[in-house]
Amino acid sequence: MKHSASRGRQLKRLAGVSAAAVLIGLLSAPSSSAAQAPALDPGTPPGVDEVASTPNLNLVANLPKTGPFADSTNSDLAFQDDFAYAGNYNGFTVYDIKDPESPTVAAQVLCPGAQNDVSVKGNLLFLGTDSQRTNDSCDNTGSTTAAPGERWEGIKIFDISDPRTPKYIKSVKTDCGSHTQTVVPGKSGDNSVYLYVSSYNLAGADLPNCPLPHDKISIVRVPVQNPTAAAVVSTPVLFPDGGYPGGTEGQSATTGCHDITAYPEKDIAAGACMGDGVLFDISVRSAPKVITSVRDTVNFAFWHSATFNNSATKIVFTDELGGGGAATCNPEIGPTRGADAIYDIVGKGKNRKLEFRSYFKIPRTNTENENCVAHNGSLIPVPGRDIMVQAWYQGGISVWDFTNSRKPKEIAYWERGPLSADSPVLGGSWSAYWYNGYIVSNDIVKGLDVLKLKDRRTNPARNFLTDEFNAQTQDNFRNW
C-alpha cells in the first residue's frame, strides 16, 4: 500500500460511492487493448474477466507475474530511463519498457521481505523491508519466536548500473523497518541522498526493534560515491506530544508515518502519518521540522500517502480505509470515507497552514468482493492544470482533475471486474503512475499493466519527459 497490513492491522469489511455509467468488454489477452461494448446501466460493475473503462483510457500491454513472484503480492514502482522497477513481497522485477506497448522482463531479483517498496537514484536502488527477517541477506525467512535470527528489517541497497544484473551491496537496519522510503537529494555541495524511512507500530505494544512510542522517522544518509557507507544519521521525533491518539470508530493513532512525499526544490515535504496530515520544512535534510498538521477525525481512518500539485499550493492526502483489503467503494460507505482529501497550502514560511477544500472518490460502485480504496498515484504533467492518475486497487485506475480544489472531477478510468464473484480476493492496482507518455500500473495479482490516455486535456503531458521517477520525490515538471 503501499500495503499497511504488515504491522498486524485487522482488515475490516467496509464500503463507498455513487454510481456512474461504465463501458464493459471482455478482458483481452496480455499485451493487447480491451475490446469495448455498449454502455450498461449506471452502477453495473464489470464481471469476472471483464473490463470497464471510458473510451479515452485503454490497456495496451500486460505482463503477468512469473517465476518466484507468481503467487506473491506486487507492490510499488519506480522508473529510470527505459526501465521500470516493480516491487513484490518476494523481491523486485526489472522491466524493459523502451517500447511501453511491448514491455519485457529484464531481470528478477529474489529477495523476500514485505513489502519491498522500491526507489531509485542514479546507479542505486533502495528496497524497503518492513517485516522482521532472520538476516539481512536475500536468503532469509520470516523471523519467528522459534527461529528469531537477527530480527533484521530496514533498507537494502542495490547497484543497478547494469539494470539487467542488479547487485546487492549494503543493508541498513532501521527501527521498525521501512514500510516506505522517500529519496531526498542533498543540497548544493552535499553529494548524498537522504532516505526518509517511514514505519509504524499498530500493535499497541512494544515489538522487537519497534518499541512504543514510535513517533519518529529514520533518516539514512547515502554518500553517492561510496554507498556502502550508508548509515542512519538521525531519528527525529516528529510528534513529541504523541500525535493523534486514535478514535473509537477505527481511526488510527499516530505512531510514526506511513508515507512522506518530498518536493526538494521547494524544501518541503508532506507526511501521511496515520492519524495526522503534516507539512514539513526539509531545508535541513537531516532535520525535518513540522510546519503545520491537520486531522480529520470524522472521515479519515488512516492517512496513507500525499501528492503535491506542481506549484506546491495544494496537497492531496489519501485515506486507506480498511487497510486496502476491504470493499469501501459502495453507497453504504459513501463518497467521503476511503477517499482523497484536497488541502490548499495558505500563508508563507513558518505561518503556512493547510485548509481543507473537498473530497474526491471514484464515482462508481464496486462489488462486495472487491477491495477498493484511494491508493498510490502521481501528477500528470499538464501545464496550468492539476491532474493526477491514481490506483484504487480493484476500483481500478482513475484520472481526475483537481484544478478547482473545491470541485474535483474524474476524466477517465479503467478497471477490471472482481477476481471472484463469490468471495473477497485481494487484488487490483497497487500503484498507477504517469511515466513519459504512458500510465504504468503494478497490479497485485495480474502483473504489469501499461495504459494509454488519449484526451485533449492531458495530451500536453506528452511533451514532458524525465529520465528518473519516484512518486514520493516530486520534481517541478517544467524543469524536465
- Tell me, what's the pLDDT at 32? 34
- What is the per-residue pLDDT for 204? 86
Mean pLDDT of 225-240: 98
Quick check: 5 pLDDT over 60? Answer: no
Question: Given a cut of 90, is residue 38 above it in pLDDT?
Answer: no
Percent above pLDDT 70 for the chain = 91
- Count, in order, helices (H) and strands (E) of the chain: 0, 31
pLDDT at 43: 65
* 419-448: average pLDDT: 98
- The CATH class for the domain spanning 5-479 reads mainly beta
Q: Is the CB of residue 343 less than 8 Å from the CB of residue 357?
A: yes
Evaluate if residue 11 carries a pLDDT over 90.
Answer: no
Domain residue extents for the chain: 5-479
At 147, which helix (H) or strand (E)?
A: none
What is the grid cell recorded at 251? 481511526
Q: What stretch of H or E contains 171?
A: strand 167-173
C-alpha cell at 102: 511491448
Is 79:120 a contact under the CB 8 Å cutoff?
yes
Of the two residues 7 and 449, the one the predictor is more confident about is 449
Average pLDDT, the chain: 92
pLDDT in tens, 308-324: 999 999 999 999 999 99
- For range 431-443, the mean pLDDT: 98
pLDDT for 235-255, tens place per residue?
999 999 999 999 999 999 999
| 427-434: average pLDDT | 98
Q: What is the pLDDT of residue 84?
A: 99
Confidence at residue 44, expressed as pLDDT on a 0 to 100 scale: 84
Supply the pTM of this predicted model.
0.92
d(CA 14, CA 322): 6
Residue closest to 215 by CA, chosen among 232, 236, 194, 233: 236
Q: Quickly state the pLDDT bin for 9 (edges 50, 70, 90).
A: very low
Residue type, 425: V
pLDDT tens for 90-139 read 999 999 999 999 999 999 999 999 999 999 999 999 999 999 999 999 99
pLDDT of residue 39 exceeding 80, the answer is no
